[in-house]
Chain A
Amino acid sequence: MDALLAFKMVPDLDLVTGEMVEGESTAVDTGYLRPIINPDDEGALELALQLRDQAEAAGATLPLSAVSVGGPAADRVLKTLMALRFARAMRLATAEDLTFRPDMVARDLADRVRQGGHRLLILGRQSSDGASGLVPPLVAASLGWPLIADVIDLSYRTDAALMVTCRRPDGVLRLTLRPPAVLAIADVAASYLRSPTLKDRMTHGKRPIEVIDVAEPVANNAGIAPLQPLPIGYSSSVERRSAVMVDGSDVAAALSALSAAWRGRGRAGP
């Protein structure tokens, strides 16, 4: 068994304090935000490393490769993954912004899975910026593999099976799964990507990453057509209320404001 991990670099939206869009707009500026690993993808990367740890503890191997579609912001992460003993770390370089083109991302990823002969594709459930949530189901459909959705944990069983824990609306599902499969990771607790050891950095971190030009559509399209049109515009999602502000250093005033809200419960209009 071996696995391909797909991740995306996204703007660090936690740094945004104000509104990203004023009124109606035809663009969202994220250029000023530093790129980070998409949070769900970062959870996927760390879960895969833990799965490899378990395989190695059982005397088996579980080679991991990584791929990211997009610009050079991913390169530093790819280098870190090489230092974390990934077999390959690839960037599929694209000419255009694919934030709202899940069909093209899915096509490139499916193509990469086929070329690498991988048996597992592990990726985050959705990106924080484009947020279409369509890439995992589209890749699964393209490959004809089952999609295991809302995965929160993985554990190694044998070379031919792994246990996958998934969240369902009404509980938790534990599946013992025979690859191939696409695993979409969501809301993993403690999901930060580990740092490589100094020794691994020196031994493995100097191996080159691969940059592959996919600007031209690949031949093997596998019938994936755009499912989602490009956005025609954007507005702010923030629903404003006109807060009555109270300085809490005046404890009496703060308690009085709380009391007023407490007494008025259910009376204020929406």
Chain B
Amino acid sequence: MTSAMTSTEMPPADVRYVALLARRGAAAAERMGEIAGIVQRAGMPPAAGRFVLFGDDVPALSVPASRFAEPDPDVLARAVRQSGAALILMPDDGWARASAVALALRLGALCLTGVTALERRPDGWIVHRRSHGGRVDAHFALGWRPAVLTVARGVEPAAVDASTIALATLPAEPPTALPEWLEAAHFEPATASAGLEQADYVLVAGRGAGSRVNVARLAVVADRLGLAFAVSRPVAMNAWAPMHRLAGVSGAMLKPRLAILAGVSGAPALMAAVARSRTIVAINTDPDAPVFRAADVGIVGDCLSLLEAFAESRQTEVVPPGSNSA
């Protein structure tokens, strides 16, 4: 426990894995003491990454990993045993899931993926995760058994100062050679980014937009109104818009002040991605569309003509985004 963890080593996104426990109720601080460890792939340089394991009472450990293979699960298991960790929280991409299972099998621990909340009850932990296409919240009782949990994307971050967490590196070298099953590997960093996760004002186009042309017209409307432009999964899958505009559990998780959902039906994967919006306006021709149940304002009508008319009406008033005077 020597060097303080810098923000480079611990990007803000990592903090979300702490949040899970802090989410529910006033006993957050007390619960924090119950977290034994968190495993997180720290800011990954192009050639190698590492996992970080830390907790309130345990020194933080970093476990070397290559980009092409998760860290040696035996090394990870040793680190966890050293730490005395009983609950291990990990990120939730498919690669980390493989690590989570390998670790759980070595520790004799339970393993659940995509966890959205954790509750402490007198007889043990209750874990929540989505099932049935995201429509259902399933509850699992762990008792006090050790468990490795991968935490769903978009789970609310808690205010944890990562700079206070110390980090020590395990005395192991990151793997440099490719594993034997790998003949060649090439990584292409994502170049296009729509900046959706940081946007304060977003327009999301759904399948109800009806066509590629209409989606393009909605993108123009978004531009005129100064809104970031995102699309739902069916729109991206139809190639009506590029994949980097995808909002949803497999795309960007949004947290805007205002989200306008245009022709969005209300599929759970998208609604989970906009649930943290402060205000949600939904426009859909179907008055029974599920999206209206999760909206603050629901407009039954054609999203394109209404939004074009709205952009036209705003055009005549010079109102900077976020201004309350109009």
CA distance A174 to B307 in the complex (A): 41
Of the listed stretches B22-30, B31-39, B138-146, B209-217, name the one at the interface; the rest are far from the partner chain: B138-146
Q: A90 at the A/B interface (Cβ < 8 Å)?
A: no
Scan residues 114-165 of chain A and give those whose CB is less than 8 A from a CB of chain B.
125-126, 128-134, 136-138, 140-141, 146-147, 149-150, 161
- A240 close to chain B: CB less than 8 A: yes
* A188→B262 CA distance, assembly (Å): 24
Query: Given A129-B131, A254-B299, A258-B310, A233 and B139 touching (CB < 8 A)?
Result: yes
Interfacial residues of chain A within 7-64, with CB under 8 A of chain B in the complex: 11, 13-14, 16-21, 28, 30
Identify whether the interface residues of A are mostly helix, strand, loop, or mixed. loop
| Stretch touching chain A among B54-62, B77-85, B286-294 | B286-294
Are B183 and A134 in contact (CB-based, < 8 A)? Answer: no
Contact, CB under 8 Å: A229 / B140: yes
Chain B residues with CB below 8 A from A13, complex form: 132-133, 135
Nearest opposing residue in chain A for B287, CB measure = A245
| B259, chain A: closest CB distance, angstroms | 10
Contact A245 B105 (CB under 8 A): no
* Interface residue total, chain A, C-beta cutoff 8 A: 93
Q: From residue A221, how far is it (CB to closest CB) to chain B in Å?
A: 13
Task: Find out whether the CB atom of B97 lies under 8 angstroms from the CB atom of A170.
Answer: no
> In the complex, what residues of A have CB within 8 A of residue B114's CB?
131, 133
Query: Does chain A have a CB within 8 A of B93?
Result: yes
Given A134-B101, A149-B94, A227-B111, do A235 and B293 touch, yes or no (CB 8 Å)? no
Give the shortest distance, in Å, between B317 (CB) and chain A (any CB).
Answer: 10
Flag if A236 contacts B136 (CB, 8 Å). yes
Q: Are A249 and B279 in contact (CB under 8 A)?
A: no
Residue interface bits A205-239, CB-to-B below 8 A is 1, else 0: 00000000000000000010101111111111111
Report B146 CB to chain A, min CB distance, Å.
Answer: 12
Q: Are A241 and B280 in contact (CB-based, < 8 A)?
A: yes
Interface centre among B68, B138, B201, B288 (most CB of A within 10 A): B138
Q: Give the distance in Å from the alpha carbon of A201 to the alpha carbon of B174 in the complex.
A: 52
The yes or no answer to A189 lying at the interface (CB within 8 A) is: yes
Q: Does B97 contact A229, Cβ atoms closer than 8 Å?
A: no
Find residues 254-310 in chain B having any chain A CB closer than 8 Å to their own CB: 257-258, 260, 267-268, 271-272, 275-276, 278-283, 287-288, 290, 292-302, 306-307, 309-310
B98 adjacent to A147 (CB under 8 Å): yes
Please tell me if the beta carbons of A134 and B113 are within 8 angstroms of each other in the complex: yes
User: Which residues of the other chain, B, contact A146 by a CB distance below 8 angstroms?
Assistant: 69, 179, 181
Determine the chain A residues whose CB is within 8 A of the CB of B129 once the complex forms. 131
Residue numbers in A under 8 Å from B133 (CB-CB): 13-14, 16, 128-129, 131
**Do A168 and B98 contact each other (CB < 8 Å), given the known contacts A228-B140, A234-B131, A266-B257?**
no
Q: A170-195, CB under 8 A of B: which get 1 and which 0?
A: 11111111111100101101110000
Contact with A along B82-123 (1 / 0, CB 8 A): 000000000101110110111011001111111000000000
Q: Is the CB of A28 within 8 A of B132?
A: yes
With A170-B190, A190-B237 known to touch, is A246 a contact of B297 (CB < 8 Å)? yes
A215 to B44, CA, bound (A): 45
In the complex, are the beta carbons of A231 and B140 less than 8 A apart?
A: yes
For the complex, give the distance between the alpha carbons of A263 and B3 in Å. Answer: 47
Q: Once bound together, how far apart are the Cα atoms of A227 and B177, in whole Å?
A: 32
Q: Which of B97, B104, B239, B281 touches A189 (beta carbons < 8 Å)?
A: B239
Complex interface: chain A residues within 8 A of B188 (CB)? 171-174
Check A149 against B189 for contact (C-beta < 8 Å).
Answer: no
A contact residues around B324 at 8 Å (CB): 263-264, 267
- The smallest C-beta distance from A149 to any residue of chain B, in angstroms, reads 3
A19–B135 Cα distance when bound, in Å, is 7
**A150-B95 Cα distance, complex, nearest whole Å:** 8
Interface residues of B (CB under 8 A from A): 44, 67-69, 91, 93-95, 97-98, 100-102, 104-105, 108-114, 126, 129-142, 150, 179-190, 200-201, 236-237, 239, 243, 250, 257-258, 260, 267-268, 271-272, 275-276, 278-283, 287-288, 290, 292-302, 306-307, 309-310, 313-314, 321-322, 324-326
Question: Beyond the given A136-B98, A243-B298, A245-B299, could you list 16 further A-B residue pairs with CB under 8 A, ordered by the A residue number?
Answer: A13-B133, A17-B288, A134-B113, A137-B102, A149-B94, A171-B188, A175-B182, A175-B184, A225-B108, A228-B112, A236-B137, A239-B271, A241-B280, A258-B281, A261-B258, A262-B258
30 contacting pairs across A/B (C-beta < 8 A): A20-B136, A21-B136, A28-B132, A133-B97, A138-B101, A141-B105, A146-B181, A150-B95, A171-B190, A172-B188, A173-B67, A173-B68, A175-B182, A181-B181, A189-B237, A189-B239, A190-B239, A231-B131, A231-B138, A234-B131, A237-B130, A237-B136, A238-B294, A254-B301, A261-B260, A261-B279, A263-B325, A264-B279, A265-B258, A268-B278
The 9 closest A-B pairs by CB, nearest first: A248-B301, A149-B94, A13-B133, A137-B101, A243-B298, A266-B257, A176-B184, A150-B94, A171-B189
